[in-house]
Structure 1
Amino acid sequence: MSTTNILAGCAASTILLSRYTHYSAITTFVLLTSLALACKVLYHLILWPKFLSPTRHLPGPTNHSLLMGNFSIIREMQSGAPQVIWMRTIPNSGLLRYLGIFNMERVFPTTPEVLKEVLHTKSYSFIKPPLLTRDIGNILGKKGLLFAEGEEHKVQRKLLLPAFSHAHIKGLVPGFWSKGVEMTEKVVEVVRSSQDSTGDGGKEGVVVQMGRWFSLVTLDIIGSCGFGYEFRALESASISGSSNIEDKSGSELADAYNTIFNTGGPSRILAMLSMVFPFWLLRSLPLKRTRDVACAESTIRRVTTQIIAAKKSTLATSPEDSESGDILSIMLKSGAYTGPDGECSMRDQMMTFLAAGHETTATSMIWAIHVLSLPENRHIQSRLRAEIHAAFPSGLPTTVTYDQVSSLKYLSQITSEVLRLYPPVGVTLRVAAEDTSLNGAFIPKGTTVILSPFAINRSVALWGADAEEFRPERWASREDGAAAVESNYGFLTFLAGPRGCIGNVFAKMEFKCLLAVTIGRFEFSQDGKRELVIKAGVTSKPQGGIPVSVKEVVWG
């Protein structure tokens, strides 16, 4: 029963009871409302999860608090890490159940067979949580592909598939590569400028916050390759202050996303409060964080509106550009985004791909440089650099072909291993849209299902005893670079099934190009002693970024 129904019932009861009691109508209403809400809280906090829920018999952790479930361990650990522990230590046949904040039930599939049910067999029976859509839909586009459900999702995906076809991606590779080269030129400026100021002549490395540059280059790539629009985020970026991830970039769009994605303590508190209080109320609080996010959202909407207008103008004067195959051209050419809500829907679609298309790859690149710069993995970095230099003996080329990048086998193995061990999104959620079942267990409507790429990608049952180790060679067992894991549902970085990531080929090829130009041009190192604090947010990345020591290398 909803709170609205409770209040309506209390109002009706007040009218009746106030006639037969010595209490005033207001007092009677307050007493009845308080009693009804207390009963509702008791039901949801205690009675349902502990005594009535049909999923309460599923195996799961037992060391939970009376009112907060297993939230303490969830709060303290990286997104997906608690699920790794439970998956390995609690015997189960494919499903675990635990309690989140305020004892909210969570059902966690642990095997490919059950994951296939959620992601393929019954994919449209498990929808994105309305709470998630409400909270981050303003950033990621409520009407975009990410939040579309049922037939609407099928229509949108079919419409956008040509922009992510294998043939189209092959044609984008030169653009990925050239933007990567542009980024390395900026980093060279940073390194040389610092060396000039210290006078060490390039003997020592320079500490650079590489995450800043990865965010800028991936934003430029999704702009030019995804929308046929030049953001010029790299071009406008200043090389000063490059060891601080909070520095302004010079690009208002990049700064807006930096504000949204670089979350801190206030964001986590607001996220917890959003489970209890209406979202509109939290957004109206006079807090700096809410003002900053609102301003950033406004910037993103304004810029995307400008891009749509510019593209319409271009297509009107140069109709041949409609054949470019980028996401925005396809949307405009389709005629599906007409009518009063057409431009709003198109803008939301752009917001989906802008955010998902640059933040996730930038996060993956941060983790790649982190793991390759660790002392124990420096030999892997050197071997990759040798492969890149051997493929391009004359120096870093300004452009390459799809086949040239695909021929770098060790690069492919490292790409897959980084994406396995460090998925940008560690946990995502689904909600049962109807009464259904998983692995034979009844799952009532409204049950939250947790999908954890971080946990599944580290499953000992699927990946072996060394699942936690960074070992690119595990991907060398098959000629196509696929993992030595039997099921498509054992590698969840891009999820799978009808709702799997439409841009996975785009993202992997973009990642390969950026990693190749970066490792080919620079040597990265760190002592590995810094304790990483992984911040909560849309993506999983270290708080404060990962500053690493950067040195230019001699090609060849």
Structure 2
Amino acid sequence: MLLLAVTAVLACWCAARALEWAWWRPRRLGAALRSQGLRGRAYRPLAGDEPLNARLNREARSRALPLRCHDIAPRAMPLLHQLIRDNGEMFISWFGPVPRVTITKPDLVHKVLSNKFGHFEKFMFSHVLKMLHNGVSSQEGEKWAKHRRIINPAFHLEKLKRMLPAFAACCTELVDGWESMATRDDETIEVDVWSEMQRLAGDVISRAAFGSSYLEGRKIFELQGEQAKLTVLVLNKIYFPGYLSLPTRTNRRRKQIAAEVERILKGLIAKREEDLRSGQGTSDDLLGLLLESNMAHRRGGGGGLMTDEVIGECKLFYFAGTETTSSLLTWTMVLLCMHPEWQHRAREEVLQVLGSSSSSTPDYDCLNRLRTVSMVLYEVLRLYPPITAIHRRTYKPMEVDGIRYPAGVMLTIPVLCIHHDKDVWGADVHEFRPERFADGISKATASGSGNTPAPFFPFGGGPRVCIGQNFALLEAKMGLAMILRRFSLELSPAYKHAPLPIGMLQPQHGAQIKLRRLH
């Protein structure tokens, strides 16, 4: 009888917790938001708007866009695009039982990203993020500040300049490999630049992060790539507490990968720390710079990162250094094929600044003088941002612009939709016009006053802006310059214009491009 009583009490407690999570709390939060004038979707128990989102995604992704069509939001994020059209600048939708307030007003977006009120934290599906890394982007509060202080020196511009030879070596291997595929000088070859740019970015970050331990770095990033694919499978399911502990095939494999990556990294870190203590180590790569800064913080009494935290930052290198750059370079090459006049202008600048000799390696000063190339990259980042949305969460009640948000509300910033807002960028918002960035980012919008920050968020914004953005832009400039100097680009008839956000914005069916060697 006692056992039955305990079982009954436990069952009632579990049922109450489930009802609180799936019904009472969502209804309470939704009512608090609606009472302040916010409108939007009504809550549907447990699944929220995910069934509608899945249906709209299937419909949108069943067909490609016309070539040179850059109005990609209806295909890439159809639910948010539809809700913005129906509800305006702010509205409520539901990510499962979590209320999601989408905001598109630039001034409010800047306030949220600046974390001015100290009540926002990143909402990155924390139940899944731990499968990938526990690096600085997943930390909050003082722990985030500590990680950021220790990592910052590795990404100072002067340190990044030391890595340019590694960038150049990887780019040279890429274009040399393409040239070797042609049996005649005038032969055109066809490659899927999406997979090629992923390989290039993986090679660059492997060399830049691990230096002489390049092969171990390649193995780590191959495993992290597989882990990312498994994460996408989890994100496509409705999450419920305890799901990640179930012995499914996906969960077993992700745990195997995590254990293998940690084993390799612990060995690398131990060896590099010993070399640094004995004065034999080098700090010209990201791992060396990170360990050097970490040891300096320990000696200074500020405390350093534990080995597991260093491992988390190394895992983050893959996503910070691979996915963003491969997406940017792929879409840049695709758009230069669609707009050959800009391909010609960018190539003329590259040849003028760098010369036509393939043996000369661009240095930082040369890359810094590529103004047209910079304009092209910024316009690609506007039209095809790698991250299509940024998420934050209120961890305690807060008020901003007259709206009081309870704790536990998800705030979504649809970067892609803001970058395609006619009220911000003008009537030509869906056109590829790199000249809009001729006077810099602050004057690129329709108003172009430069007095307020432009709503341009390809790398996030505020204090949590991506720490690797300079790394990504330098790598993209290097790669694009060396490709344009040796090849002309043309879209293959096999190419289908189908942008798809799976993690980063990527081409759903690849990016097939025909390359012709320049004489």
Q: Are positions 1:538 and 2:495 aligned together?
A: no
1:214 is matched with which residue: 181, 194, 197?
Answer: 197
Inter-partner Cα distance in structure 2 for 1:317 and 1:332: 16
Inter-partner Cα distance in structure 2 for 1:81 and 1:497: 27
1:320-469 paired onto structure 2 within 5 Å: 321-322=282-283, 327-336=289-298, 342-374=306-338, 377-469=339-431
Q: Are positions 1:156 and 2:147 aligned together?
A: yes
Q: Are positions 1:315 and 2:279 aligned together?
A: no
Classify 1:166/1:41 alpha carbon distance in 2 versus 1 (closer, same or farther; 3 Å).
Answer: closer
Contact 2:41 2:92 in 1 (8 A): no
Match of 1:90 in 2: 87
Letter in 2 for 1:91: G
Q: Which moved more, 1:27-36 or 1:111-120?
A: 27-36
- Please give the TM-score of this superposition, normalised by the length of structure 2: 0.83
Q: Report how far residue 114 of structure 1 moved.
A: 0.9
1:43 is matched with which residue: 10, 18, 23?
Answer: 23
Match of 2:462 in 1: 497
Q: Report how far residue 352 of structure 1 moved.
A: 1.5
Classify 1:540/1:476 alpha carbon distance in 2 versus 1 (closer, same or farther; 3 Å).
Answer: same
Query: Deviation per CA, 1:513-552, whole angstroms, max 9, x where unpaired?
Result: 1111122222222257754555553322123432322222
Classify 1:339/1:492 alpha carbon distance in 2 versus 1 (closer, same or farther; 3 Å).
Answer: closer
Contact 2:356 2:485 in 1 (8 A): no
Match of 1:523 in 2: 488
Contact 1:424 1:540 in 2 (8 A): yes
Q: Report how far residue 32 of structure 1 moved.
A: 4.2
Contact 2:193 2:330 in 1 (8 A): yes
3-state SS, counterpart of residue 541 of structure 1: strand
Contact 2:495 2:511 in 1 (8 A): no
Q: Report how far residue 53 of structure 1 moved.
A: 3.0
Inter-partner Cα distance in structure 2 for 1:253 and 1:223: 9
1:511 is matched with which residue: 460, 476, 489?
Answer: 476
Query: Deviation per CA, 1:412-468, whole angstroms, max 9, x where unpaired?
Result: 101111112212111232110110023210100111111222222222222112222
Inter-partner Cα distance in structure 2 for 1:482 and 1:336: 43
Match of 2:222 in 1: 255
Letter in 1 for 2:240: V
Letter in 2 for 1:347: I
Q: Are positions 1:100 and 2:65 aligned together?
A: no
Contact 1:360 1:424 in 2 (8 A): yes
Letter in 2 for 1:296: I
Inter-partner Cα distance in structure 2 for 1:153 and 1:333: 18
Inter-partner Cα distance in structure 1 for 2:179 and 2:275: 35
Contact 2:163 2:284 in 1 (8 A): no
Classify 1:202/1:64 alpha carbon distance in 2 versus 1 (closer, same or farther; 3 Å).
Answer: farther
1:133 is matched with which residue: 104, 126, 141?
Answer: 126
The answer for unaligned runs of 5 or more in structure 1 is 1-13, 19-23, 235-250
Query: Deviation per CA, 1:145-183, whole angstroms, max 9, x where unpaired?
Result: 111211122222122222222333334334323321222
Classify 1:138/1:65 alpha carbon distance in 2 versus 1 (closer, same or farther; 3 Å).
Answer: closer
Number of aligned pairs?
494
Contact 1:49 1:56 in 2 (8 A): no
Match of 2:71 in 1: none
Inter-partner Cα distance in structure 1 for 2:85 and 2:455: 15
Contact 1:227 1:327 in 2 (8 A): no
Classify 1:91/1:271 alpha carbon distance in 2 versus 1 (closer, same or farther; 3 Å).
Answer: closer
Inter-partner Cα distance in structure 2 for 1:426 and 1:528: 27
Match of 2:63 in 1: none
1:294 is matched with which residue: 251, 255, 260?
Answer: 255
Classify 1:63/1:106 alpha carbon distance in 2 versus 1 (closer, same or farther; 3 Å).
Answer: closer
Classify 1:58/1:517 alpha carbon distance in 2 versus 1 (closer, same or farther; 3 Å).
Answer: farther
Inter-partner Cα distance in structure 2 for 1:161 and 1:391: 31
Classify 1:218/1:268 alpha carbon distance in 2 versus 1 (closer, same or farther; 3 Å).
Answer: closer
Match of 1:110 in 2: 104
Letter in 1 for 2:270: A
1:54 is matched with which residue: 13, 33, 36?
Answer: 33
Q: Report how far residue 228 of structure 1 moved.
A: 3.6
Query: Deviation per CA, 1:216-272, whole angstroms, max 9, x where unpaired?
Result: 3223322333444442599xxxxxxxxxxxxxxxx5334323323346xxx655324
Inter-partner Cα distance in structure 2 for 1:515 and 1:152: 37
Letter in 2 for 1:48: R
Classify 1:438/1:96 alpha carbon distance in 2 versus 1 (closer, same or farther; 3 Å).
Answer: farther
Contact 1:119 1:496 in 2 (8 A): yes
Contact 2:174 2:200 in 1 (8 A): yes
Q: Report how far residue 87 of structure 1 moved.
A: 3.5
Letter in 2 for 1:54: L
Q: Report how far residue 34 of structure 1 moved.
A: 8.0
Q: Report how far residue 410 of structure 1 moved.
A: 0.9
The answer for unaligned runs of 5 or more in structure 2 is 61-74
Inter-partner Cα distance in structure 1 for 2:462 and 2:341: 37
Query: Deviation per CA, 1:347-406, whole angstroms, max 9, x where unpaired?
Result: 1111112322222111221222222223xx122222222221222334224422211111
Query: Deviation per CA, 1:99-144, whole angstroms, max 9, x where unpaired?
Result: 2335x31012212211122111436421123x723312231x22x2
Inter-partner Cα distance in structure 2 for 1:111 and 1:327: 39
Contact 2:425 2:444 in 1 (8 A): no
Classify 1:531/1:100 alpha carbon distance in 2 versus 1 (closer, same or farther; 3 Å).
Answer: farther
RMSD of equivalent CA atoms: 3.5
Match of 2:68 in 1: none
Contact 1:118 1:126 in 2 (8 A): yes
Contact 1:364 1:424 in 2 (8 A): yes
